[in-house]
Amino acid sequence: MMSHTVDTTQELAAFLRTRRERLDPRDLGLPSRRQARRTPGLRREEVAELAGVSVDYIVRLEQGRGLRPSADVVEALARALRLAPVERAYLFNLAQQRPRNTDKPATTAAPSLARLVADLSPLPTMLMNHRYDILAWNHEMTRLLLDFDTLPPAQRNSMWLCLMHPEIREFYVDRERVVREGIAHLRAAWAAHPEDRALTDLIAEFMTHDEEFARLWAERDIKVNGRGHKVMRHPGVGVIAVHFEVLTPLQDPDQRLVIFRAADDESQSALDRLCAR
Protein backbone atom coordinates (compact mmCIF):
# COMPACT_ATOMS: atom_id res chain seq x y z
CA MET A 1 0.00 0.00 0.00
CA MET A 2 1.39 3.41 -1.03
CA SER A 3 2.05 6.00 1.66
CA HIS A 4 0.51 9.45 1.29
CA THR A 5 4.00 10.98 1.59
CA VAL A 6 7.40 10.07 0.21
CA ASP A 7 9.92 8.73 2.72
CA THR A 8 12.91 10.21 0.91
CA THR A 9 15.45 8.32 3.06
CA GLN A 10 13.97 4.92 2.26
CA GLU A 11 13.37 5.80 -1.39
CA LEU A 12 16.98 6.99 -1.72
CA ALA A 13 18.14 3.68 -0.26
CA ALA A 14 15.96 1.61 -2.58
CA PHE A 15 16.87 3.68 -5.65
CA LEU A 16 20.60 3.29 -5.02
CA ARG A 17 20.22 -0.48 -4.56
CA THR A 18 18.21 -0.98 -7.75
CA ARG A 19 20.58 1.13 -9.84
CA ARG A 20 23.61 -0.69 -8.44
CA GLU A 21 22.05 -4.08 -9.16
CA ARG A 22 21.17 -3.30 -12.77
CA LEU A 23 24.77 -2.52 -13.81
CA ASP A 24 26.82 -5.12 -15.64
CA PRO A 25 30.36 -5.16 -14.17
CA ARG A 26 31.79 -6.02 -17.58
CA ASP A 27 30.47 -2.74 -19.01
CA LEU A 28 32.54 -0.88 -16.46
CA GLY A 29 35.73 -2.78 -17.24
CA LEU A 30 35.92 -4.47 -13.85
CA PRO A 31 38.32 -7.45 -13.51
CA SER A 32 36.96 -10.77 -14.74
CA ARG A 33 37.79 -12.44 -11.42
CA ARG A 34 34.84 -10.57 -9.97
CA GLN A 35 32.29 -12.20 -12.25
CA ALA A 36 31.33 -15.01 -9.85
CA ARG A 37 28.61 -13.13 -7.99
CA ARG A 38 25.76 -14.17 -5.76
CA THR A 39 23.74 -11.04 -6.55
CA PRO A 40 23.28 -9.14 -9.84
CA GLY A 41 25.08 -5.93 -10.64
CA LEU A 42 27.93 -4.27 -8.78
CA ARG A 43 29.04 -4.95 -5.27
CA ARG A 44 28.85 -2.16 -2.74
CA GLU A 45 32.65 -2.18 -2.58
CA GLU A 46 32.82 -1.45 -6.30
CA VAL A 47 30.35 1.43 -6.10
CA ALA A 48 32.27 2.86 -3.16
CA GLU A 49 35.51 2.70 -5.13
CA LEU A 50 33.97 4.29 -8.22
CA ALA A 51 32.36 7.08 -6.18
CA GLY A 52 35.35 7.71 -3.93
CA VAL A 53 33.52 7.05 -0.65
CA SER A 54 33.81 4.37 2.01
CA VAL A 55 32.03 1.03 1.80
CA ASP A 56 30.43 1.72 5.18
CA TYR A 57 28.95 4.93 3.77
CA ILE A 58 27.33 3.01 0.88
CA VAL A 59 26.01 0.40 3.33
CA ARG A 60 24.42 3.06 5.53
CA LEU A 61 22.89 4.84 2.53
CA GLU A 62 21.38 1.61 1.19
CA GLN A 63 20.03 0.73 4.61
CA GLY A 64 18.27 4.07 4.91
CA ARG A 65 20.04 5.06 8.08
CA GLY A 66 19.29 8.77 7.88
CA LEU A 67 22.30 10.04 5.96
CA ARG A 68 21.97 13.10 3.77
CA PRO A 69 24.76 12.99 1.19
CA SER A 70 26.30 16.25 0.04
CA ALA A 71 25.88 17.54 -3.50
CA ASP A 72 29.43 16.37 -4.33
CA VAL A 73 28.68 12.85 -3.08
CA VAL A 74 25.40 12.71 -4.98
CA GLU A 75 27.22 13.75 -8.15
CA ALA A 76 29.87 11.07 -7.56
CA LEU A 77 27.19 8.42 -7.01
CA ALA A 78 25.36 9.49 -10.17
CA ARG A 79 28.57 9.07 -12.19
CA ALA A 80 29.44 5.75 -10.55
CA LEU A 81 25.97 4.34 -11.23
CA ARG A 82 25.90 5.71 -14.80
CA LEU A 83 22.61 7.51 -14.17
CA ALA A 84 20.71 9.11 -17.03
CA PRO A 85 20.04 12.87 -16.68
CA VAL A 86 16.49 12.35 -15.41
CA GLU A 87 17.72 9.75 -12.89
CA ARG A 88 20.47 12.10 -11.76
CA ALA A 89 17.87 14.83 -11.14
CA TYR A 90 15.73 12.32 -9.21
CA LEU A 91 18.69 11.35 -7.01
CA PHE A 92 19.42 15.01 -6.23
CA ASN A 93 15.77 15.57 -5.32
CA LEU A 94 15.76 12.57 -2.98
CA ALA A 95 18.94 13.82 -1.31
CA GLN A 96 17.42 17.34 -1.09
CA GLN A 97 20.43 18.80 -2.81
CA ARG A 98 20.76 21.13 -5.76
CA PRO A 99 22.77 19.81 -8.69
CA ARG A 100 25.46 21.89 -10.28
CA ASN A 101 24.56 22.91 -13.81
CA THR A 102 27.31 21.16 -15.77
CA ASP A 103 25.64 21.27 -19.20
CA LYS A 104 26.83 23.91 -21.64
CA PRO A 105 24.10 26.42 -22.50
CA ALA A 106 22.34 25.76 -25.77
CA THR A 107 23.68 27.91 -28.60
CA THR A 108 21.60 26.31 -31.36
CA ALA A 109 17.96 25.28 -31.44
CA ALA A 110 17.10 21.62 -31.05
CA PRO A 111 15.79 20.60 -34.52
CA SER A 112 12.39 19.51 -33.22
CA LEU A 113 11.97 22.84 -31.41
CA ALA A 114 13.02 24.80 -34.49
CA ARG A 115 10.28 22.99 -36.43
CA LEU A 116 7.80 23.73 -33.66
CA VAL A 117 8.63 27.44 -33.83
CA ALA A 118 7.79 27.39 -37.56
CA ASP A 119 4.66 25.29 -37.01
CA LEU A 120 3.27 27.79 -34.50
CA SER A 121 2.68 30.36 -37.23
CA PRO A 122 0.74 32.62 -37.42
CA LEU A 123 1.55 33.23 -33.74
CA PRO A 124 4.82 35.19 -33.46
CA THR A 125 7.20 32.74 -31.78
CA MET A 126 10.90 32.51 -30.94
CA LEU A 127 13.19 30.19 -29.04
CA MET A 128 15.76 31.50 -26.54
CA ASN A 129 18.23 30.09 -24.03
CA HIS A 130 18.53 31.28 -20.42
CA ARG A 131 20.68 34.27 -21.30
CA TYR A 132 18.17 35.57 -23.89
CA ASP A 133 20.13 34.42 -26.97
CA ILE A 134 17.59 34.03 -29.79
CA LEU A 135 18.07 30.57 -31.31
CA ALA A 136 15.09 30.26 -33.69
CA TRP A 137 12.17 32.40 -34.86
CA ASN A 138 9.32 32.32 -37.33
CA HIS A 139 8.27 34.74 -40.05
CA GLU A 140 5.71 36.49 -37.88
CA MET A 141 8.29 37.29 -35.22
CA THR A 142 10.59 38.90 -37.79
CA ARG A 143 7.71 41.05 -39.02
CA LEU A 144 6.81 42.10 -35.49
CA LEU A 145 10.35 42.80 -34.21
CA LEU A 146 13.06 42.65 -36.87
CA ASP A 147 14.77 40.24 -39.26
CA PHE A 148 17.24 38.46 -36.98
CA ASP A 149 19.08 37.08 -40.02
CA THR A 150 20.41 40.58 -40.67
CA LEU A 151 22.12 40.68 -37.28
CA PRO A 152 25.50 39.19 -36.37
CA PRO A 153 25.04 36.22 -33.99
CA ALA A 154 26.40 38.20 -31.01
CA GLN A 155 23.51 40.67 -31.35
CA ARG A 156 20.77 38.02 -31.56
CA ASN A 157 19.97 38.51 -27.91
CA SER A 158 16.68 40.07 -26.82
CA MET A 159 18.26 41.90 -23.86
CA TRP A 160 21.01 43.32 -26.08
CA LEU A 161 18.42 44.45 -28.60
CA CYS A 162 16.29 46.13 -25.94
CA LEU A 163 19.28 47.99 -24.50
CA MET A 164 21.49 48.64 -27.52
CA HIS A 165 19.55 48.46 -30.79
CA PRO A 166 18.46 51.98 -31.84
CA GLU A 167 15.02 50.87 -33.09
CA ILE A 168 14.16 48.30 -30.43
CA ARG A 169 15.23 50.70 -27.65
CA GLU A 170 12.14 52.79 -28.46
CA PHE A 171 9.89 49.86 -29.34
CA TYR A 172 8.17 49.19 -26.01
CA VAL A 173 5.62 51.67 -24.68
CA ASP A 174 6.40 50.71 -21.06
CA ARG A 175 10.12 50.45 -21.65
CA GLU A 176 11.36 50.67 -18.04
CA ARG A 177 9.08 47.86 -16.86
CA VAL A 178 10.19 45.61 -19.73
CA VAL A 179 13.85 46.31 -19.05
CA ARG A 180 13.42 45.95 -15.28
CA GLU A 181 11.73 42.55 -15.64
CA GLY A 182 14.32 41.41 -18.17
CA ILE A 183 17.17 42.31 -15.81
CA ALA A 184 15.43 40.54 -12.92
CA HIS A 185 15.24 37.39 -15.06
CA LEU A 186 18.87 37.78 -16.12
CA ARG A 187 19.99 38.00 -12.48
CA ALA A 188 18.12 34.77 -11.67
CA ALA A 189 19.75 33.06 -14.67
CA TRP A 190 23.18 34.37 -13.61
CA ALA A 191 22.80 32.83 -10.14
CA ALA A 192 21.61 29.53 -11.62
CA HIS A 193 24.49 29.36 -14.15
CA PRO A 194 27.57 30.76 -12.37
CA GLU A 195 29.83 28.82 -14.74
CA ASP A 196 28.41 30.54 -17.85
CA ARG A 197 31.26 32.86 -18.82
CA ALA A 198 29.38 34.19 -21.86
CA LEU A 199 26.52 35.32 -19.62
CA THR A 200 28.94 36.98 -17.18
CA ASP A 201 30.65 38.78 -20.07
CA LEU A 202 27.29 39.92 -21.45
CA ILE A 203 26.29 41.39 -18.09
CA ALA A 204 29.67 43.13 -17.82
CA GLU A 205 29.13 44.66 -21.27
CA PHE A 206 25.72 45.96 -20.24
CA MET A 207 27.11 47.34 -16.97
CA THR A 208 29.83 49.23 -18.84
CA HIS A 209 27.78 50.64 -21.70
CA ASP A 210 24.29 51.21 -20.31
CA GLU A 211 23.62 53.35 -17.25
CA GLU A 212 20.01 52.21 -17.03
CA PHE A 213 21.10 48.57 -16.83
CA ALA A 214 23.71 49.35 -14.17
CA ARG A 215 21.15 51.22 -12.07
CA LEU A 216 18.52 48.50 -12.25
CA TRP A 217 21.02 45.66 -11.81
CA ALA A 218 22.14 47.23 -8.53
CA GLU A 219 18.58 46.94 -7.17
CA ARG A 220 18.91 43.12 -7.20
CA ASP A 221 15.33 42.40 -8.21
CA ILE A 222 14.60 38.76 -9.02
CA LYS A 223 11.74 37.68 -11.26
CA VAL A 224 11.14 34.92 -13.78
CA ASN A 225 8.23 35.68 -16.07
CA GLY A 226 6.33 32.69 -17.41
CA ARG A 227 3.68 34.93 -18.93
CA GLY A 228 2.99 38.61 -19.24
CA HIS A 229 1.82 41.56 -21.29
CA LYS A 230 3.70 43.99 -23.54
CA VAL A 231 2.62 46.97 -25.60
CA MET A 232 4.71 47.69 -28.67
CA ARG A 233 4.93 50.79 -30.82
CA HIS A 234 5.45 49.35 -34.31
CA PRO A 235 6.62 51.89 -36.95
CA GLY A 236 4.54 50.25 -39.68
CA VAL A 237 1.15 49.50 -38.12
CA GLY A 238 1.07 51.42 -34.86
CA VAL A 239 0.45 50.14 -31.33
CA ILE A 240 0.24 46.36 -30.81
CA ALA A 241 -0.59 44.85 -27.42
CA VAL A 242 0.37 41.22 -26.89
CA HIS A 243 0.18 38.56 -24.22
CA PHE A 244 3.16 36.21 -24.08
CA GLU A 245 3.73 32.72 -22.71
CA VAL A 246 7.15 31.23 -21.95
CA LEU A 247 7.30 27.42 -22.11
CA THR A 248 10.25 25.22 -21.13
CA PRO A 249 10.58 21.86 -22.93
CA LEU A 250 11.24 18.96 -20.55
CA GLN A 251 13.80 17.47 -22.94
CA ASP A 252 15.64 20.78 -23.42
CA PRO A 253 15.23 22.71 -20.14
CA ASP A 254 17.78 25.36 -21.12
CA GLN A 255 15.62 26.45 -24.04
CA ARG A 256 12.53 28.64 -23.73
CA LEU A 257 9.70 28.91 -26.23
CA VAL A 258 8.23 32.42 -26.28
CA ILE A 259 4.80 32.74 -27.91
CA PHE A 260 3.00 36.05 -28.52
CA ARG A 261 -0.79 36.42 -28.92
CA ALA A 262 -2.69 39.60 -29.73
CA ALA A 263 -4.26 41.04 -26.59
CA ASP A 264 -7.25 42.63 -28.34
CA ASP A 265 -9.03 42.85 -31.68
CA GLU A 266 -7.19 46.00 -32.76
CA SER A 267 -3.83 44.37 -32.10
CA GLN A 268 -4.88 41.23 -33.97
CA SER A 269 -5.88 43.33 -36.94
CA ALA A 270 -2.53 45.12 -36.84
CA LEU A 271 -0.68 41.79 -36.69
CA ASP A 272 -2.69 40.46 -39.63
CA ARG A 273 -1.82 43.52 -41.74
CA LEU A 274 1.81 43.33 -40.72
CA CYS A 275 2.28 39.65 -41.61
CA ALA A 276 0.33 39.93 -44.87
CA ARG A 277 2.77 42.44 -46.31
Residue 225 in this model has a pLDDT that exceeds 80: no
Residue 243 in this model has a pLDDT that exceeds 90: yes
Residue 251 in this model has a pLDDT that exceeds 90: no
Secondary structure letter of residue 168 according to DSSP: G
Mean confidence (pLDDT) of the chain: 88
For residue 80, the surrounding DSSP H or E stretch is helix 71-80
User: What does the alpha-carbon distance between residue 277 and residue 271 come to, in Å, rounded to a whole number?
Assistant: 10
Q: Longest Cα pair distance anywhere in the chain, in angstroms? A: 77
Q: Which residue has the higher pLDDT, 223 or 168?
A: 168
The phi and psi torsions of 17 (rounded to 5 degrees) equal: -65, -45
The phi and psi torsions of 242 (rounded to 5 degrees) equal: -130, 150
pLDDT at 66: 78
Average pLDDT over residues 138-165: 94
Residue 155 in this model has a pLDDT that exceeds 70: yes
pLDDT at 276: 83
Ranking 1-5, 157-161, 189-193, 211-215 by mean pLDDT, the lowest is 1-5
Average pLDDT over residues 204-227: 90
